[in-house]
């Protein structure tokens, strides 16, 4: 649905984004990760048709986001900017109605009411935006980004500064967008959030460092591992496991970390070996390093531009 | 057009909730109205010297009596009518000066409030955006001019010699107030919006936009010293010139409005 091809953007000779290529499909949530200054916001702005790339193209369903087409194609995109950007002196309803009209909706008031219902904010419709809490402002901004029912939703740090409950609501909404078949690009620093909602992750630092599912990135960087906790010192069982064919084994206290090709297939045989060796097994889990480790490893391996 | 109207109505609603922004405009309008009354009515009343007997106004009296519309007035009324007409051009300046802050703040204000980026992410075009911004500052200016003019005429009817107010309702003054005024205001406000979309600070926009006041002030001075008689054909010519200036300014404004710089360089 949305594709970026060889996107490059310079500001006064300084590269902000270089040769960035990826695609975003319907019903997919792609998380854009990267350190501060990595070019995430610049990328979002190029995708939203707000700024032109110095080189490369953005396409929506094959149509290039050229200067001439940008105004029309922007109508297919819902963009949540980093700050809510509400008109403080206007009411919530006025804010939404103006945007419904800017998007050329036939029944702006009805669209604004529907957005308020969707976000459970009907009772706050007449409140002046300045009076809202940060979480409510963010909700209104989300409602604004979605009231024209865009195919593509770009979210720039949608849960930044929100309390845990509001952040959970926003994540729920992002999942609903996927269920509705929309393509969602989520820029965030919150790796837990990415873990919870994203189908794929794109890590950028000016260039694209990696793009894949979190599981695939883990497997690529760390391989698949089983973590087994036993009642005895783990090192006791090293020899029997190596004799059964285990090659990469780390014993630390009562925990064994074993590299395997396929955790589900390898676990029964390893458990049998341990039990036969007299181990009292307390737990067996597929060892998934946190996404933070994946992210840090990816950036460590990527030379800084 | 729908998008322009939507943004225009939003800006006007925003201004209605922030009426203090018009305090300078109202004060300027008030002093503009008071000044000619002070010169034509108050000063002669307290000095006991009739304007028509003052040598300072003889040339003005002769110039004015030469006009057919003024022949029905007595000498004192003719001088008063001359003064009221000369100061009429200040009514053109008042709303410009007053609304300049609104125009100067229009784009940079959206940027500072962080409302510009979501706005630019909609399908709105630069022309639609700038038109809405200019009209949002022009509309209050025109309303203020009309109100000031109404007060001016009523004041003249109540305080000046009989028939003086009627002179203010003839073609020339009406053209000055309702054609030349709005067009001059439009040019000034467009200039301010232009500058507002190029600078980081609304004060710069306001200061540069005020430059438009200079030619209008020049007209006033030229009239008073008698080197220029602002006849109806001349007013229409100036209005036509302003029409062209306004069209040119809009084209320039669109070219100058650089979404990318505004989004990426302004802090």
CB contact under 8 A, B113 and A87: yes
Which of A91-100, A229-238, B50-59 is least confident? B50-59
| pTM metric for this prediction | 0.80
Arithmetic mean of pLDDT, A126-131:
92
The whole-number pLDDT of residue A12 equals 82
From A75, which residue of chain B is nearest by alpha-carbon distance? Answer: B123
From A71, which residue of chain B is nearest by alpha-carbon distance? Answer: B123
The pLDDT-based confidence of B60 (bands split at 50, 70, 90) is low
DSSP string across chain B:
-HHHHHHHHHHHHHHHT-GGGGHHHHHHHHHHHHHHHIIIIIHHHHH---GGG-GGGHHHHHHHHTSGGGTTS-HHHHHHHHHHHHHHHHHHHHHHHHHHHHHHHHHHHHHHTT-HHHHHTSS--HHHHHHHHHHHHHHHHHHHHHHHHHHHHHHHHHHS-TTHHHHHTSHHHHHIIIIIHHHHHHHHHHHHHHHHTT-S-HHHHHHHHGGGHHHHHHHHHHHHTTS----HHHHHHHHHHHHHHHHHHHHHHHHH--HHHHHHT--
Give the distance, in angstroms, between the CA of residue A187 and the centroid of all CA atoms in the same chain.
6
ipTM for the whole complex: 0.80
The whole-number pLDDT of residue B118 equals 92
B221 and chain A in contact, CB less than 8 A: no
pLDDT tens for each residue of B7-38 = 999 999 988 888 887 787 788 888 888 888 88
Best of A53, A79, A98, A156 to mutate (most B CBs within 10 Å, chain B): A98
Q: Which residue has the tokens 């999942």?
A: A175
B121 and chain A in contact, CB less than 8 A: yes
CB contact under 8 A, A102 and B124: yes
User: A16: phi > 0 → left, psi -120 to 50 → alpha, else beta; which?
Assistant: alpha
Q: What are phi and psi of B230, to 5 degrees?
A: -80, 80
CB-CB contact of A205 with A231 (8 Å): no
Structural domains of chain A in order of their starting residue, each with its CATH number: 2-212 (3.40.50.300), 219-288 (3.30.70.2470)
Q: From the CA of A9, how many Å to the nearest CA of chain B? A: 12
CB-CB contact of B132 with B8 (8 Å): yes
The count of structural domains within chain B is: 1
pLDDT tens for each residue of A130-171 = 999 888 898 899 999 999 999 999 999 888 877 888 888 888
CB contact under 8 A, A102 and B116: no
Tokens of A139: 């909700």
Give CA separation, A177 vs A27, A151, A159, in Å. 7, 9, 16
The whole-number pLDDT of residue B209 equals 62
Which of A225-229, B53-57, B125-129, B167-171 is least confident? B53-57
Tokens of A298: 């990816």
Closest CA to B21 of B103, B108, B92, B94: B103
What whole-number distance in Å separates Cα of residue A290 and Cα of residue A287? 9
pLDDT for residue B216 is more than 70: no
Q: What is the CB-side half-sphere exposure of residue B213 using CA atoms within 13 A?
A: 16
Q: From the CA of A108, how many Å to the nearest CA of chain B? A: 10
pLDDT tens for each residue of B68-82 = 666 777 878 888 888
Residue A77 has a CB neighbour count (10 Å cut-off) of 25
CB contact under 8 A, B10 and A77: no
The domain in which residue B128 lies consists of: 2-265
């Amino acid at each position: 649905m949305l594709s970026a091809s060889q996107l490059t953007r310079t500001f006064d000779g300084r590269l902000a984004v270089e040769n960035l290529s990826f695609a975003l499909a319907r019903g997919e949530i792609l998380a854009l990760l990267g350190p501060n200054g990595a070019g995430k916001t610049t990328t979002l702005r190029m995708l939203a048709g707000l700024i032109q790339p110095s080189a490369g193209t953005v396409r929506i369903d094959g149509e290039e986001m050229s200067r001439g087409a940008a105004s029309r194609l922007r109508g297919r995109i819902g963009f949540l900017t980093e700050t809510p950007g509400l008109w403080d002196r206007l009411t919530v309803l006025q804010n939404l109605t103006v945007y419904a009209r800017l998007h050329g909706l036939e029944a702006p008031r009805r669209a604004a009411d529907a957005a308020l219902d969707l976000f459970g904010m009907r009772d706050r419709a007449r409140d002046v935006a300045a009076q809202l809490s940060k979480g409510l402002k963010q909700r209104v901004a989300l409602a604004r980004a979605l009231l024209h029912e865009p195919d593509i939703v770009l979210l720039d740090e949608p849960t930044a500064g929100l309390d845990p409950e509001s952040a959970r609501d926003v994540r729920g909404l992002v999942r609903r967008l996927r269920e509705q078949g929309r393509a969602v690009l989520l820029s965030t620093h919150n790796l837990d959030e990415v873990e919870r909602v994203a189908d794929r992750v794109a890590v950028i630092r000016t260039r694209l460092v990696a793009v894949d599912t979190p599981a695939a990135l883990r497997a690529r960087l760390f391989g698949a591992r089983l973590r087994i906790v036993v009642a005895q010192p783990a090192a006791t069982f090293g020899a029997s496991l190596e004799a059964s064919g285990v090659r990469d084994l780390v014993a630390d206290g009562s925990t064994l970390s074993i590299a395997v090709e396929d955790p589900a297939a390898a676990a029964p045989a390893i458990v049998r070996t341990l039990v036969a060796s007299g181990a009292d097994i307390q737990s067996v889990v597929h060892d998934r390093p946190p996404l933070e480790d994946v992210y840090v490893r990816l950036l460590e391996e990527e030379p800084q531009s | 057009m729908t998008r322009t109207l939507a943004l225009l109505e939003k800006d006007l609603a925003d201004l209605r909730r922030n009426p203090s922004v018009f305090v300078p405009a109202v004060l300027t309008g008030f002093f503009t109205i008071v000044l000619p009354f002070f010169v034509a009515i108050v000063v002669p009343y307290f000095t006991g010297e009739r304007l028509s007997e003052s040598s300072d106004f003889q040339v003005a009296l002769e110039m004015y009596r030469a006009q057919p519309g003024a022949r029905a007035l007595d000498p004192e009324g003719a001088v008063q009518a001359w003064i009221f007409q000369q100061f009429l051009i200040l009514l053109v300046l008042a709303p410009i000066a007053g609304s300049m802050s609104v125009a100067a703040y229009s784009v940079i204000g959206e940027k500072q409030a962080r409302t510009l980026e979501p706005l630019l992410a909609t399908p709105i075009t630069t022309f639609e955006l700038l038109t809405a911004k200019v009209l949002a500052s022009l509309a209050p200016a025109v309303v203020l001019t009309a109100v000031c003019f109404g007060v001016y005429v009523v004041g003249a009817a109540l305080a000046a010699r009989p028939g003086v107010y009627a002179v203010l309702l003839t073609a020339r003054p009406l053209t000055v107030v309702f054609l030349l005024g709005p067009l001059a205001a439009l040019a000034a406000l467009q200039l301010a919006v232009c500058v507002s979309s190029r600078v980081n600070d609304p004060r710069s926009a306001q200061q540069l936009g005020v430059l438009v006041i200079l030619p209008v002030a020049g007209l006033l001075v030229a009239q008073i010293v008698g080197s220029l008689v602002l006849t109806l054909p001349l007013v229409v010519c100036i209005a036509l010139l302003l029409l062209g200036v306004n069209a040119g300014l809009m084209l320039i404004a669109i070219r100058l409005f650089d979404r990318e710089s505004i989004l990426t360089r302004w802090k």
